[in-house]
Structure 1
Amino acid sequence: MAIGATIHTFDVQLADTDRGVYEEYSLRVARHPSETDAYMLTRLLAYGLEFVEGIAFSEGLSSTEEPAVVVRDLTGRTTAWVEVGAPDAERLHYGSRLADRTVVYTHRDPAKVMAPWEGKRIHRSDDIRVYSFDPGFIDAAVPLLERRNTVTMTVTERVLYLDLNGTTLTTAVHEHELG
């Protein structure tokens, strides 16, 4: 945990009907002082939308060798590299070489996030997916964050219904391809 980090607790109920994933879990999320609430919330959503056995938050902003969210199999091998925000092409290249699956979840304009990657060498770039949310969705959810949070995430036909501390917000989960 980073020095000076703010701890947020999330009690999550996840019902992802698209993937047949139904789970309840609690997360303690350390928000680094340089991490925005929007980034932390996107990290939380990425965790839920990618939830499988072996998923975990990495060391976060203090780790340059891992993505925001990582999935490992029982042997410790990285199977999914999940970036958040606007990673550079070099990180995507590294992650794509290391993991079977590489994805990015962003709270920013996906066109602006992907523009710097154009023409750069990224391993298996055609297999990398970028996911974004409706404009304003993250901005509407951020003020609802507290230190202790109750979250219900329901996903149906790539639409996310998020109940955060008693307020429900809805967004499509948009998929963008590189190349």
Structure 2
Amino acid sequence: MALKSTIYKAELQIADMDRHYYGDHALTIARHPSETDDRMMVRVAAFALFASERLEFTKGLSDTDEPDLWQKDLTGQIETWIEVGQPEERRIAKASGRADRVIVIAYGGRASEIWWQGVKAKVERMQNVTVWSLTDGVAAALGALAERTMRLQCTVQDGEASLGSASVDPVAIDWSVFKGTPR
């Protein structure tokens, strides 16, 4: 018998002064049985950093044809495809062909750097792909925010972002850009 996803609920308030985006989002997050709190919260942080009214979580790990998050236009065309982790070059290429914009958010410190060296030559040729790497320790700090029911606040200003809750100090979401633009 297959294990089922665990459902998390989050009320997320976003104040993104850089993009002039301010919004409240009621999120339902399905955490796959093989997913860690760290990875799940990196997905939430990715949502907060690229939030829009049409950005949504997908089946993610449960469906190999979908990213972790995507934004579609009103015709169903994929505008933004967001992957969390260290996807294979072939998966990034497939996403690049299907979406207007692809964002990969790697995490894991040194492991991300090693992964990037392995895919860099081919991914750098893809014009619509941006690749970030979260600073070592950020994913674990985000994972500490995980609760079955969460109230989170994300603030973005001058290229700096933080995500926090009333019970835990805000986590600075620091990243380096392997490819593409800072945001």
Give 1:66 deviation, angstroms. 1.2
TM-score with structure 2 setting the length: 0.87
- Contact 2:9/2:149 (<8 A) preserved: yes
Give the alignment of 1:3-152 within 5 angstroms: 3-109=3-109, 110-120=112-122, 122=123, 124-152=125-153
Cα separation, 2, equivalents of 1:63 and 1:160: 30
TM-score with structure 1 setting the length: 0.89
Partner of 1:174: 176
Deviation string, structure 1 residues 83-137 (Cα, Å, up to 9, x no partner): 11111101110111111111111222331231221344x4952442112333212
- Contact 1:15/1:22 (<8 A) preserved: yes
> 4+ runs of 1 displaced by more than 3 Å?
none
Alpha-carbon spacing, 1:31–1:165, altered in 2? closer, same or farther (3 Å): farther
Cα separation, 2, equivalents of 1:107 and 1:114: 11
SS in 2 for 1:64: coil
Write the letter of the residue equivalent to 1:47: F
Deviation string, structure 1 residues 50-76 (Cα, Å, up to 9, x no partner): 112321111111111111101100111
* In the alignment, structure 1 residue 155 sits paired with structure 2 residue 156: yes
Write the letter of the residue equivalent to 1:103: I
SS in 2 for 1:146: coil
Cα separation, 2, equivalents of 1:14 and 1:147: 20
SS in 2 for 1:25: strand
Cα separation, 2, equivalents of 1:82 and 1:95: 9
Cα separation, 1, equivalents of 2:79 and 2:33: 29
Write the letter of the residue equivalent to 2:135: D
- Contact 2:10/2:28 (<8 A) preserved: yes
Cα separation, 2, equivalents of 1:123 and 1:64: 23
Structure 1 spans left out of the alignment, 5+ residues: none
SS in 1 for 2:174: strand
Write the letter of the residue equivalent to 1:144: L
Give 1:159 deviation, angstroms. 1.0
Count of equivalent residues: 176
